[in-house]
Chain A
Amino acid sequence: MKTEDIEQKAIDPGPDKIIAPGYTYGSVTDKIANVVLRPIQTTPKQWWISLLIAFCAMQGLLAGAFWLFYKGVGVWGIVIPVAWGYAIVNFVWWIGIGHAGTLISAILLLLKQDWRTSINRFAEAMTLFAVAQAGMFPILHLGRPVLAYWLMPYPNSMWLWPNPRSPLVWDVFAVSTYLTVSLIFWYIGLVPDLATMRDKARKKWQKIAFGMAGLGWRGSAKHWARYQMAYLLLGGLATPLVVSVHTVVSFDFAISLMPGWHTTIFPPYFVAGAIYSGFAMVMTLAIPARKWFNLQDLITTRHLDACAKLMLGTGLIVAYGYGMEAFMSWYSGNPNEMFMYHNRATGPYMLFFWALILCNILIPQSLWSAKVRQNVTALFLVSLVINVGMWLERFIIVITSLHRDFLPSSWGMYYPTQWDWAVFFGTIGFFLVLMILFVRVLPSISIFEVREVLHHLAPHVLDDGKHSPKPAHGD
């Protein structure tokens, strides 16, 4: 079996190349397909350990949700005035993480950035699984989750309809559309690769499973022409969609009258923050995955470097947003707005606020240095810091605005309970279980798009003299 010699070749070609030299259509297919088709005994040990840890963490969601359904939302730390606790913080955090996946697969597709190819599948899966986590929170947060379907407009015997003027109803449409479009975008991208897996698989059940999922794809030129048109249009549709989703999420806040929420900067600053956190999560996941499965020659320093630059750019937009929030609360001359910002920076949650500034603004400035961007360990740590920072941002927005609003007699404090933490860590576990299973059971790099890159690069880039004149052709 070729497994061993394929794996030994995994050398990162450095920050200039999106793929290591010497690959052919056949060998790149074997390499990616092999991650899925290799015998179960050869799965890396780290994969099993991570799966076990994530699976244990996932039980927090199970226990937390069970206890919540049994007792009611009182098991959480939510109180009046802070009726939106971790459920909304986590909802916004997870939705935001999803956005990088759509950005990579749709916007970079339209911009013809060829470095997206090795990470788009992975990032799309991340989107899908993150949105699935996000979608649970508003439902768990309902006093009576069994009645969640009342959110949808349907003819009913009560003669009631949802109020279409409410941003919370917009949210239902935005998030469900986002989940559906992410799912079909991801699946349609997978179809040609599932056909490859069907043809590569040796076990009968794998052939049947991949064959069914691959829909009988046979790579006809007419099919490809329609496929490419559909894929391009999906990219074009997903681009404004991704912007609209976090805009609608920000409307949940901005359309209210709360000091700290009622600002026009929220939509762009939420979208930038979403992409920021999403790229951080892509890094957090891609860096270990490429190591476990020896994919450094396909997910190269070039990819990590480009993601880091995008993190830096969106991070600066987020920093500008924070600056503008501070400026506007002062410039408005409104005592409630001024108090809100003062309370954030010096009130009972000031530790969270300053940690947020540290995580989201100060530490990511290290990405200006190419040394940091190209150092895998440093990048992994920075991405973890940004993940934490973006969670803190949502905590600050939700909690500090609510806990001290206009009327001092109604002020209060919010303390999360162990059930808040259990559900939060449970969704992280659930998300990781899905991701960890995904990289093992489906091709986590788009094989046909890598072949396309090889085809375009073939004559001039890959030929570094050591290979035959057309190294990309045949094997």
Chain B
Amino acid sequence: MSETYWDRHGIYGVMAEFEDPEQLVEAAKRTYAAGYRQMDAYSPMPIDGLAEAIGFTRNWVSLVVLIGGLTGCIGGFGLLYWIAEIAYPHNVGGRPFNSWPMWIPITFECTVLLAALSAVIGMLAMNKLPMPYHPVFNVPSFAERASVDRFFLCIEASDPKFDLEHTKAFLKELNPEEVAEVEK
């Protein structure tokens, strides 16, 4: 995205504060319907339907976990095959070197291990966490209550439709508790 006027002038966006999760979902839907796309909603707990309301539909976490799990599965089995067949073939009572039923427990553990690690690392990476600084915390009531009992909707300045006065006026129509400018 090219640099907008607001990027240069130190405004991250405009933020509205709500008291109720239902109000936030409703506001998010109306904002999306009004044509805004660069926005985010913030809540102290997950709310059903909120991500969809701001137009977030592509969740790649499960794909990452699948890839991680398959890697663990193939890697785990491959490790045991390589140990028993190639690196250290060991004749135990005339059984085949690649006695694969005995590989199942370790293959399973490796599958779970890599799938779980990729779930966590993938989720954090896609969320761009850890993030030591973020402009939304410049709004005092956000820093105070966004993780406790208030619900916020932020329209970002990078949205092509963003205009400080118009966007502010638009958010005020949604009956928020408060509307604040978010400084960078």
Decide if B54 touches A221 in the complex (CB within 8 Å): yes
> CB of B155 within 8 A of chain A?
no
**Cβ distance A386 to chain B, nearest Cβ, rounded Å:** 28
Decide if A233 touches B119 in the complex (CB within 8 Å): yes
B18-59 contacts to A (CB < 8 Å) = 19-21, 28, 40-47, 50-51, 53-54, 56, 59
Decide if A199 touches B148 in the complex (CB within 8 Å): yes
Q: A184-B120, A474-B20 are in contact. Are A29 and B149 (CB under 8 A)?
A: yes
Q: A221-B54, A222-B127, A230-B122 are in contact. Are A164 and B102 (CB under 8 A)?
A: yes
Contact count band on B: 35 or more
Of the A-B pairs whose beta carbons lie under 8 Å apart in the complex, a sample of 23, sorted by A's number, is: A164-B80, A165-B102, A173-B106, A181-B116, A184-B117, A185-B116, A199-B146, A199-B147, A200-B148, A216-B132, A219-B43, A220-B41, A224-B51, A225-B46, A227-B46, A227-B123, A229-B61, A237-B69, A247-B105, A451-B44, A451-B149, A455-B21, A473-B19
Decide if A177 touches B112 in the complex (CB within 8 Å): yes
Chain A residues near B131 (CB-CB < 8 A)? 215-216, 218
Chain A residues near B102 (CB-CB < 8 A)? 164-165
Give the contacting residue for A161; candidates B43, B87, B92; CB below 8 A.
Answer: B87
- Interchain CA distance A468-B100 in the complex, whole Å: 64
> A427-458, CB under 8 A of B: which get 1 and which 0?
00000000000000000000011011001000
Decide if A188 touches B120 in the complex (CB within 8 Å): yes
| Residue in chain A with minimal CB distance to B130 | A215
| Residue in chain A with minimal CB distance to B143 | A199
Decide if B62 touches A164 in the complex (CB within 8 Å): no
- Interchain CA distance A450-B130 in the complex, whole Å: 24
- Interchain CA distance A177-B106 in the complex, whole Å: 10
**Cβ distance A198 to chain B, nearest Cβ, rounded Å:** 8
**Cβ distance B64 to chain A, nearest Cβ, rounded Å:** 9
Decide if A230 touches B45 in the complex (CB within 8 Å): no
Give the contacting residue for B105; candidates A170, A233, A451, A475; CB below 8 A.
Answer: A170
B106-141 contacts to A (CB < 8 Å) = 106, 108-110, 112-113, 115-117, 119-120, 122-124, 126-127, 129-134, 136-137
Decide if B112 touches A218 in the complex (CB within 8 Å): no
Q: Which residues of B are in contact with A by a Cβ distance under 8 Å?
A: 19-21, 28, 40-47, 50-51, 53-54, 56, 59, 61-62, 65, 69, 79-80, 83-84, 87-88, 90, 92, 99, 102-103, 105-106, 108-110, 112-113, 115-117, 119-120, 122-124, 126-127, 129-134, 136-137, 143-149
Chain A residues near B143 (CB-CB < 8 A)? 199
Give the contacting residue for B40; candidates A153, A162, A221; CB below 8 A.
Answer: A221
Decide if B124 touches A215 in the complex (CB within 8 Å): yes
Chain B residues near A224 (CB-CB < 8 A)? 43, 45-47, 50-51
Decide if A153 touches B83 in the complex (CB within 8 Å): yes
Q: A220-B42, A455-B47 are in contact. Are A164 and B103 (CB under 8 A)?
A: yes
| Residue in chain B with minimal CB distance to A182 | B116
Give the contacting residue for A473; candidates B20, B69, B130; CB below 8 A.
Answer: B20
> CB of A217 within 8 A of chain B?
yes
Chain A residues near B65 (CB-CB < 8 A)? 230, 233, 237
Chain A residues near B149 (CB-CB < 8 A)? 24-26, 29, 451, 474-475
Decide if B41 touches A234 in the complex (CB within 8 Å): no
| Residue in chain A with minimal CB distance to B103 | A164
- Interchain CA distance A418-B115 in the complex, whole Å: 43
> A97-138, CB under 8 A of B: which get 1 and which 0?
000000000000000000000000000000000000000000
**Cβ distance A102 to chain B, nearest Cβ, rounded Å:** 12
Chain B residues near A448 (CB-CB < 8 A)? 44-46
> CB of A174 within 8 A of chain B?
yes
Decide if B45 touches A218 in the complex (CB within 8 Å): no
> CB of A346 within 8 A of chain B?
no
> CB of A377 within 8 A of chain B?
no
Chain A residues near B88 (CB-CB < 8 A)? 159-161
- Interchain CA distance A153-B83 in the complex, whole Å: 9
Chain A residues near B113 (CB-CB < 8 A)? 177, 180-181
* Interface core residue of A164, A216, A240 (most chain B CB under 10 Å): A164
| Residue in chain B with minimal CB distance to A160 | B88
Decide if B61 touches A244 in the complex (CB within 8 Å): no
- Interchain CA distance A199-B61 in the complex, whole Å: 28
A234-256 contacts to B (CB < 8 Å) = 234, 237-238, 240-241, 244, 247-248, 251
